[in-house]
Chains A and B, each alone.
Chain A
């Protein structure tokens, strides 16, 4: 499993294709938001939370598509699955890899968003990476599962968001609520954190159990 994860990271390190394109894309999305919204709106914490998460979701979707496409093009995944590795381990490796890429994108997007929004620094903001990490875990779990499905169908570019977006709605509601509270410097809405945690646990476990049925030939 670690070897698989290492392979993905190494591949990216050598080419830097995925991350560099994701960085530029995320930056462009933030710019588009700034142009689409009025100046007063871009200073509101709730809009900031929306910008952050919409950027992350769409960047994440593209990242997922690249990830499994690479495997599919050369038939690598079938090769990996021919070896006597548990498919669940493949899931975990892919899931961690996807989460890692998204974390890097997030590490790049968050400071820029905070700057654009002119958010004043509060110690509460230290919790923002925690929320982002939890959101990314849930996103990557479902994303890994469904990108493995979408990549083997026709119209995969359309099908991935169509399958993934409705399933991500509870995650998004919770993450946006938490983020906008943090950005506004308000009290921490505890329930949403529990919703987010529950989502992560349910879908990481589901993905781990069900992935073998997806990749089975």
Chain B
């Protein structure tokens, strides 16, 4: 991680900026209007990449959690925490962008479609995960508890998928797409993926620095204690 740091630090923000600008200009200037839905459909180019990031966050949490439980590396725990925080942000955004789109198209802000149901349940699982971390304090035990929740959470995904689908369904399926739309979507997906990586990187580094500071403070405190007493 240390070796990669200068490279990632300088490259990733620029890449993300460029990709995001490209995505924005394609979404607003390049891609044609969709025939039936018109203008509101353009939010889809934000909505889908954000949704993918939500799931990506979930899988990173689970992967990092599993690796933490089996190998006990501190880094995995920090990665899981950072990914959960980001996942929560993107999960909230996916619900908001979805609601903005659903209002003009379906006529309601919210309905109990399987994917909507699923996303809202994922949101509650993320919330539980972050609250657990908040309430359990900053110990090694907490890391293990959070890892257990992270793994159980990802195991819920397939069964939730089946259950919500059987329950009810009206989500639009994308059958065919004009090539312009496809490209716009791909660029936007790339841009959001880079954004996710960049934010994840910043947060993991931030967390590990915080930990280093805590360790330093402890050593300074311990080494200065005898003099303080004397």
Contact = CB atoms under 8 A, between A and B. Distances in A.
Same assembly: yes
A214 B149 CA distance: 10
A152 B135 CA distance: 10
Interface stretch (A19-27, A95-103, A165-173): A165-173
A197 B70 CA distance: 28
Interface of B is mostly: helix
B132 A166 contact: no
Nearest to A212: B69
Contacts of B142: 153
Interface size class of A (residues with CB under 8 A): 20 to 34
Interface string B173-191: 0000000000000000000
Contacts of A214: 144-145, 148
B152 A145 contact: yes
A192 B166 contact: yes
Contacts of A216: 144
A153 B69 contact: no
Interface in A197-217: 198-199, 202-203, 206, 210, 213-214, 216
Interface of A is mostly: helix
Contact of B153 (A167, A192, A210, A213): A167
A195 to B, nearest CB: 6
Interface of B: 69, 121, 124-125, 127-128, 131-132, 135-137, 141-142, 144-145, 147-149, 151-153, 155-156, 159-160, 162-164, 166-167
Given A153-B142, A210-B151, 9 more contacts: A149-B148, A153-B132, A167-B156, A169-B160, A202-B155, A203-B155, A206-B155, A210-B148, A213-B69
12 contacts: A153-B135, A158-B135, A159-B131, A159-B132, A166-B124, A169-B160, A210-B69, A210-B148, A210-B151, A213-B144, A214-B144, A214-B145
